[in-house]
Amino acid sequence: MIRDELFPEIASRRNGFLEVGDGHTIYWEESGAREGIPVVFLHGGPGSGTSPTQRRFFDPRAYRIILFDQRGAGRSTPRAGIEANTTPHLIADMERLRQHLDIEAWLVFGGSWGSTLALAYGQAHPDRCLGFVLRGVFLGRRNEIDWFMNGMRGFFPEVWRSFAEFIPAAERADLLRAYHRRLTDPDPKEHLPAARHWARYEKACSSLLPEPEQIWSAEDPNHALNLARIEAHYFLNDMFLPDGGLLAGVERIRHLPATIVQGRYDVICPPESAHALARAWAGAELVYVPDAGHAAMEPGVRRALVRATERFKTTLRQPVRVG
Beta strands in the chain (DSSP E): 14-21, 24-32, 37-42, 63-68, 106-111, 129-135, 258-263, 285-289
Gyration radius of the chain over CA positions: 19
Q: What values do phi and psi take at 103, rounded to 5?
A: -105, 130
DSSP letters spanning 101-126: TT-S-EEEEEETHHHHHHHHHHHH-G
Distance CA 192, CA 199 (A): 10
112 an active-site residue? Answer: yes
Amino acid residing at 285: E
115 an active-site residue? Answer: no
Among 69, 93, 266, 273, the one annotated catalytic:
266
| Cβ-based neighbour number of residue 41 at 10 Å | 22
Among 76, 112, 206, 217, the one annotated catalytic:
112
Residue 171 near residue 224 (C-beta atoms within 8 A): no
Q: Which of 157, 72, 154 is nearest to 113 (CA)?
A: 72
59 an active-site residue? Answer: no
Distance CA 61, CA 150 (A): 44
Distance CA 300, CA 296 (A): 9
DSSP letters spanning 261-292: EEETT-SSS-HHHHHHHHHH-TT-EEEEETT-
Distance CA 237, CA 102 (A): 33
Among 24, 191, 223, 294, the one annotated catalytic:
294
Distance CA 305, CA 114 (A): 14
- Give me the active site residues, please: 112, 266, 294
